[in-house]
Amino acid sequence: MTSDVAAAYMGISKTTFLDRFGARGVKEGGNTLWARAQLDRIVVEQFDLAPAILAAADDPYEEWKRGRERR
């Protein structure tokens, strides 16, 4: 997502977002982008949360990932 969307996702202004997390973005052509999972990890680190709370045990995406890892 772009910095505008990522800042809104994090609940802070674009300026504050870029000051704090601008260097963590990934360059794609002329754009810098952030992934939702990347931003979620930042929140986990910031609040010292257990990663398990990010995805419920019945999360279809997590189940799909586990299936791919077994291949």
pLDDT tens digits along 21-65: 999 999 999 999 999 999 998 888 888 876 655 555 677 777 787
Alpha helices in 1-71 (DSSP H): 3-10, 14-21, 36-47, 60-69
Cβ neighbours of residue 20 closer than 8 Å, sequence gap 6 or more: 12
**The predicted structure's pLDDT at residue 54:** 57
Q: Which of 22, 27, 53 is nearest to 40 (CA)?
A: 53
* Domain housing 36: 3-69
Total of domains in the chain: 1
Q: What is the pTM of this model?
A: 0.65
**The predicted structure's pLDDT at residue 21:** 94
- The token pair that represents 53 in the structure block: 């709370």
